[in-house]
Amino acid sequence: MIDVLYFAWVRERIGTPRETVETQAATVAELVDELRAREERYQAAFADLSALRVAVDQDLTDFDAPLSGAREVAFFPPMTGG
């Protein structure tokens, strides 16, 4: 079980800010593949991974990152603070 969080337009496309996912995915990329296979709204959100950033347990990382022991994965567009 892993908490998956979405922010900004990723949240809007998927239609929820957070969900708990039952997964055996070993990496972020595998989790993305599982989500894409679910429904069209996930395909829309994950259509272009170069437009997305990912954090595992609140640290920025990349799509190859392992998920072993992770509690929280977040997907979002490039950040626009300041």
Distance from chain centroid for Cα 11:
10
Binding site for another protein (CB under 8 A): 5, 7-9, 55, 58-60, 74, 76-82
Residue 33 or 44: which CB sits closer to another protein? 44
CB 68 within 8 A of CB 59: no
Supply the minimum distance, in Å, between the C-beta of residue 8 and another protein. 4
Helix (H, G, I), strand (E, B) or coil at 26: coil
The Cα 51–Cα 54 span in angstroms is 10
Supply the minimum distance, in Å, between the C-beta of residue 5 and another protein. 7
Residue 2 or 5: which CB sits closer to another protein? 5
